[in-house]
Amino acid sequence: MASGFEVLGHNRALQVHWARRCGAYVLDAIVVLMPTWMVLAVLGAASGIVFLAVAAGVVFVLYGTAAEALHGQTLGKYVFDLEVRSVRGPLTVGKAAARNAPKFFWYLFPLLDAILGLLGQGDPRQRFSDRAVGTTVVWREAAPLAGSGDAHAASRQS
């Protein structure tokens, strides 16, 4: 079986999938970092980069866990039409927390998590932590009506 990187090199749908995930992550980082920095600035605690990094990591994990456990997606995933799904059983708070744990070190671990996931064999849409807890991120698809000519839905399938 091929690794995710081997599939990624020639599969346009997978390339789009990972581009959407990266875009969603950047948007979520903005959603987390800006308010965290502003609150710390108001409290007079925003001067230390390490403190900001740790505070943002805690907020990132809590935000991702709550949003995904309640709605199956964060704001970034919503904007990029993605959602988290459980491969085995329901998407629980525990699964959401475990898949979001790497975001505590939001500046490095999510990238390593994605690289490790793509190096392994199996579903190339999964990060390492997704494989460990039995979750995946999918492109939300509305089933197009037959003959509707829905270009957006057709582009998802290519």
Backbone angles phi, psi at 50, to 5 degrees: -65, -45
What would the pLDDT profile of 130-148 be if each residue is shown by its tens digit? 999 999 999 987 433 333 3
Q: Which is more confidently placed, 68 or 122? A: 68
Tell the burial category of 17 from Cβ atoms under 10 Å away from its Cβ (0-12, 13-18, 19+): buried
| pLDDT at position 151 | 38
Structure tokens at 73: 């997606």
| pLDDT at position 49 | 80
Tell the burial category of 134 from Cβ atoms under 10 Å away from its Cβ (0-12, 13-18, 19+): middle
Backbone angles phi, psi at 45, to 5 degrees: -115, 10
The percent of residues above 70 in pLDDT, for the chain, comes to 87
Span 89-111, average pLDDT: 95
How far the first Cα of the chain sits from its last, in Å, is 22
Half-sphere exposure of 112 (CA within 13 A, CB side): 9
Q: Which of 11-25, 37-51, 61-75 has the lowest mean pLDDT?
A: 37-51
